Each structure stands twice: as C-alpha cells, then as structure tokens.
Amino acid sequence: MYHGETVFSKIIDGTIPSRKVYEDDHVLAFHDIEPKADVHVLIIPKKKYVSFNDFTQEASDTEISSFYRTIQKIAEDLGIADSGYRLITNHGANAGQEVFHFHVHMIVRRHKD
C-alpha cells in the first residue's frame, strides 16, 4: 500500500525539483541527487507503486513491458546503450530501499585507469 506522498511522487507533481532526463505520460527519469557514479539516473513509473513486488503484482503486462522498453530508450538517449550500464532495484528493507516509490537506478561507473 502506497502511503500518501513520497519524495518521488512530489517530484512527479513538481512540488520538489529534479534534473529530468526523460518524461512521457507514464515514465519519469531524473538524476539522482547524490550520484554514486558518473551516470546515476533514477527511472520511475508515474503511477504509484511502492516497490518491485507491488509493480510486478499490480501493474498490467503492458505497463511493465513499456516501462522496461522506456528504460532501454533512455539508455539510447544517454548514449550508453552499447557501452553498457547497470540497472539496480532495491526492494524492501533488507535491500536498503529508502524511497517507497518503485524505481530503477541506471548507473555507469567509468573506468578511471
């Protein structure tokens, strides 16, 4: 159950600012406020899902497939689709999920040597 508002629902409604990299009717992507890598983008469905469990159990097949296809399109837009990136979802307390609005981290840590 989604509890009221989260920092990400406030980013969606514009109450909290973000550095957007992509937006359509269903998906929003923005830079993480505390980037842990050279590229650290968060990708979220605009509809309120608490977690990976909630998204995969409650979203339609169309929502799920289009969400992941949009992630791939964002990677293309960022120019990292071929060079590579990591996708991470922290699900629940034991994974250290901090924001209870389902999201995917897109991360590129470039080699410094």
Which range binds ligand AMP by CB under 6 A, 47-55, 60-68, 71-79, 94-102? 94-102
* CA atoms 23, 72, 52, 39: torsion sign: negative
Quickly tell me which residue has 């983008």 as its tokens: 41
The binding track of 35-54 with respect to ligand AMP, each residue x by CB under 6 A or -, is: -------x------------
State yes or no: residue 21 binds ligand AMP (CB under 6 A): no
Question: Which stretches does DSSP call E strand in the chain?
Answer: 20-23, 27-31, 39-45, 86-88, 104-108
Q: Which residues are catalytically annotated?
A: 103
Binding site for ligand AMP (CB under 6 A): 7, 16, 18, 32-34, 42, 90, 96-99
